[in-house]
Structure 1
Amino acid sequence: MDNEIRHPGTKSVGWALVQAARLHRSRTGDKLSDLGLFAGQEQVLQALATSGPMTMGDLATMLRVRPPTASKTISRLSTLKLVERHTEPGDARIVRVKLTKEGKRKAEAINALWDEVEAELLADFDNKDRKRLRKLLRKAAKNLAGLTGADQSGFADDDLEEASALEEPLAASA
Structure 2
Amino acid sequence: MDYKHSDSLTHLMKSVLKLHRHNVDRLIQEYDVYPGQPPLLLRLAEQDGQIQKELAQKINIQPATLTVMITRMEKAGLLERRTDPEDQRVSRVYLTEKGRMATGKVKEALRTIEEACFGNFSLEEKLLFRRLLLQMQSDLQALPPQKNG
Range class of TM-score, shorter chain: 0.7 to 0.9
1:91 aligns with 2:87: yes
Q: Percent identity?
A: 24
Note the C-alpha offset of 1:81: 1.0
- 3-state DSSP of counterpart to 2:121: coil
1:111 match: 107
2:45 match: 49
In 2: Cα distance, 1:148 partner to 1:27 partner? 34
Which residue of 114, 137, 142 maps to 1:146?
142
- 3-state DSSP of counterpart to 1:26: helix
TM-score, normalised via structure 2 length: 0.87
In 1: Cα distance, 2:29 partner to 2:143 partner? 35
- Deviation track 1:122-163 (CA, whole Å, cap 9, x = no partner) reads 1211122112212211221222223266xxxxxxxxxxxxxx
TM-score, normalised via structure 1 length: 0.75
| Greater RCO structure (CA 8 Å; 6+ sep) | 2
Runs of at least 5 residues in structure 2 that lack an aligned partner in the other structure: none
Q: CA RMSD in A?
A: 1.6
In 2: Cα distance, 1:24 partner to 1:79 partner? 27
Q: Within 5 A, what are the aligned runs for 1:1-174?
A: 8-147=4-143
In 2: Cα distance, 1:36 partner to 1:88 partner? 27
8 Å CA contact 2:28, 2:105 repeated in 1: no
1:156 match: none
